[in-house]
Amino acid sequence: MKKENLRMQQPEMDRRQFHSRLGWLGVAASGAIAAAGNLLYLKPAVDYGPPTRIRVGRPEEYKEGLKEIYENERIVVVCEKDGFAAISVKCTHLGCTVRTSDSGFECPCHGSQFDNDGFVTGGPAPAPLNWYQISLTPNGELEVDKSVVVPSGTYFKV
Amino acid sequence: MAPDKSTEKKSAGMEFFENVYRSIFRYGRIPQDGEGASYAVFNNLFLHIHPVKVSRHSLKFTYTFGLGVIATSLFLILTFTGVWLMFYYYPSATEAYGRMLDLRSSVDFGFVLRNVHKWAAEAMVFFVVLHMARVFLTGAYKPPREFNWVIGVILLLLTLGLSFTGYLLPWDQLAFWAITVGTSIAGYAPVIGEPLRQFLLGSDSVGQEALIRFYVLHVVILPGLLYVFLAVHFWRIRKDGGLSHPSENEPQDVAEKGAEL
């Protein structure tokens, strides 16, 4: 009877097991923290890419109906009677540069087609082309901000 | 008297070289007897990839076509030519393309190294896939070799990773758009897609950051990992009882196999 009681009182793990598990927990925790630190280190913190704000000339240089393509910046600036718009020419499928076509834009890589407003009319592209915000700088130049996406069909009067 | 002196001198010199030789090869000259030859193989880092005893079946060329050895040899060639290319290549968005052109046209034997690296890379992917097909068709992925198949799959992925990261380095139009498209495909993966794309490119688009990241992956991280897993792969071939052979699952072989282990 007494023996039974003693056995009941015995803890589920002994001292050695407890310390061993504590040690392994420490190893696992420090490993996890080190892994998280390394991943965080590799996450780009500073963007060395091209600037998101692009100057595209003065409004009076544009005529109504004109489409000005900026190849390196990968945008097309459209001038309509409603105002100015900047549409991305980066295909929403896999990032190739689309070219203008009779019906709007088309992608040379996998054949996606877009209308003049950048909406998908054919091919694998999953989303319409981005439209970006345009503003006027104090010295009277148009500035496109590629970090601000606006709804398709938004024209900016300047 | 004189001839004696000269032989004494010669033997002293010989003794030195013999000591050096024996410090490297413990068993002196290659022993001709079975046991001695076995020890010589067993105690040599490069030779001990082979078991001391090889089954007659394993020596049949048409069983493996040496595909794994070919893939490994190509990787060694790629390491060698890659290191030599590194002397001239510079992973900079403004320099890389020009350095590649210089290697191709100006540097002595530069075009040889570059082309050997290129074709060996293409061939390595090809032979790794063939090797995998051979292992599959001969059933060599079955227990006890199932874990080595997993290591092999990791090696395949590392090979493809090396192939992909190396593709950007010439920094020409082909490289730029291939990596633009390739990383966009990675971006479509659920949950990890976008972080993975960011990790690879270090930016939102292919640029200097992407070039340096692909370079580090290509010349240090992926080959380093590949060598580690290659070592494990070879070690497991030995530990799993050498090449697979048709008779090993037959009952009369079980006792023999037990003795081997």
Q: Within an 8 Å CB–CB cutoff, is residue A96 touching chain B?
A: yes
CB contact under 8 A, B184 and A94: yes
Distances (CA, A) of A60 to A56, A57, A64, B155: 11, 9, 10, 60
| Residue B252 CA neighbour count, 13 Å, CB half | 2
- Do B229 and B155 contact (CB within 8 A), yes or no? yes
Give me the number of domains chain A comprises: 2
Specify whether A9 is located in the same domain as A83. Answer: no
Cα angle B140-B142-B145, degrees, rounded to a multiple of 5 = 75
pLDDT of residue A6: 57
Specify whether A144 is located in the same domain as A77. Answer: yes
Specify whether A127 is located in the same domain as A82. Answer: yes
Distances (CA, A) of B133 to A70, B128, B223: 49, 9, 23
CB contact under 8 A, A95 and B184: yes
SS (H, E, C) chain B: CHHHHHHHHHHHHHHHHHHHHHHHCCCCCCCCCHHHHHHHHHCCCCHHHCCCCCCHHHHCHHHHCCHHHHHHHHHHHHHHHHHHHHCCCCCCCCCHHHHHHHHHHCCCCHHHHHHHHHHHHHHHHHHHHHHHHHHHHCCCCCCCCHHHHHHHHHHHHHHHHHHHHHHHCCCCHHHHHHHHHHHHHHHCCCCCHHHHHHHHHCCCCCCHHHHHHHHHHHHHHHHHHHHHHHHHHHHHHHHCCCCCCHHHHCHHHHHHHHHHC
In a domain, A156, yes or no: no
- Do B160 and B125 contact (CB within 8 A), yes or no? yes
What pLDDT digit, counting tens, does each position of B145-184 carry?
999 999 999 999 999 999 999 999 999 999 999 999 999 9
- Do B242 and B207 contact (CB within 8 A), yes or no? no
pLDDT of residue A12: 79
Q: Within an 8 Å CB–CB cutoff, is residue B205 touching chain A?
A: yes
- Do B196 and B206 contact (CB within 8 A), yes or no? no
Q: Higher model confidence: residue B256 or residue B238?
A: B238
In a domain, B108, yes or no: yes
Distance from CA of A11 to the nearest CA of B (A): 39
Q: How many residues does chain A have?
A: 158
Q: Within an 8 Å CB–CB cutoff, is residue A47 touching chain B?
A: yes
Q: Within an 8 Å CB–CB cutoff, is residue B174 touching chain A?
A: no
Give me the number of domains chain B comprises: 1
In a domain, A140, yes or no: yes
- Do A83 and A155 contact (CB within 8 A), yes or no? yes
In a domain, B30, yes or no: no
> Of A49, A93, A96, which is closest to B204 when you measure between CB atoms?
A49
Six-digit token pair at A145? 């901000």
Nearest CA in chain B to A109: B181
Specify whether A23 is located in the same domain as A94. Answer: no
Please give the single-letter amino acid code of residue A142. Answer: L
In a domain, B177, yes or no: yes
Q: Higher model confidence: residue B29 or residue A86?
A: A86
Specify whether A74 is located in the same domain as A108. Answer: yes
Specify whether A142 is located in the same domain as A88. Answer: yes
Specify whether A62 is located in the same domain as A127. Answer: yes
Report the 10 Å Cβ neighbour count for B242.
17
Tens place of pLDDT per residue across chain A (158 aa): 555 565 566 667 889 999 999 999 999 999 999 999 999 999 888 888 888 899 999 988 888 888 888 988 999 999 988 889 999 999 999 999 999 888 899 999 999 999 999 999 999 999 999 999 999 999 999 999 999 999 998 899 87
Specify whether A145 is located in the same domain as A79. Answer: yes
Residues spanned by the domain of B179: 67-244
In a domain, A137, yes or no: yes
Q: Residues A103-112: contacts with CB within 8 Å, 24+ apart?
A: A105/A129, A109/B177, A109/B181
B163: domain CATH number is 1.20.810.10
Nearest CA in chain A to B201: A44
Q: Within an 8 Å CB–CB cutoff, is residue A41 touching chain B?
A: no
CA–CA distance, B95 with B54 (Å, rounded to integer):
52
Specify whether A66 is located in the same domain as A96. Answer: yes
Q: Cβ contacts (< 8 Å) between A47 and chain B: which residues? A: 203-204
- Do A88 and A67 contact (CB within 8 A), yes or no? no
| A18 sits in which H/E element | helix A15-42
Q: Cβ contacts (< 8 Å) between A43 and chain B: which residues? A: 195, 198-199
Specify whether A67 is located in the same domain as A138. Answer: yes
The DSSP code for A77 is E
In a domain, A79, yes or no: yes
Q: Which of B86, B149, B80 is nearest to B116 (CA)?
A: B80
In a domain, B142, yes or no: yes
What pLDDT digit, counting tens, does each position of B40-72 carry?
887 888 877 777 777 778 888 898 899 999 999
What pLDDT digit, counting tens, does each position of B86-144 carry?
999 999 999 999 999 999 999 999 999 999 999 999 999 999 999 999 999 999 999 88
In a domain, A85, yes or no: yes
In a domain, B1, yes or no: no
Residues spanned by the domain of A28: 2-42
**For residue B139, with 0-12 CB atoms within 10 Å meaning exposed, 13-18 middle and 19 or more buried, which class applies?**
exposed
Specify whether A142 is located in the same domain as A75. Answer: yes
Specify whether A30 is located in the same domain as A57. Answer: no
- Do B148 and B119 contact (CB within 8 A), yes or no? no
- Do B40 and B31 contact (CB within 8 A), yes or no? yes
In a domain, B138, yes or no: yes
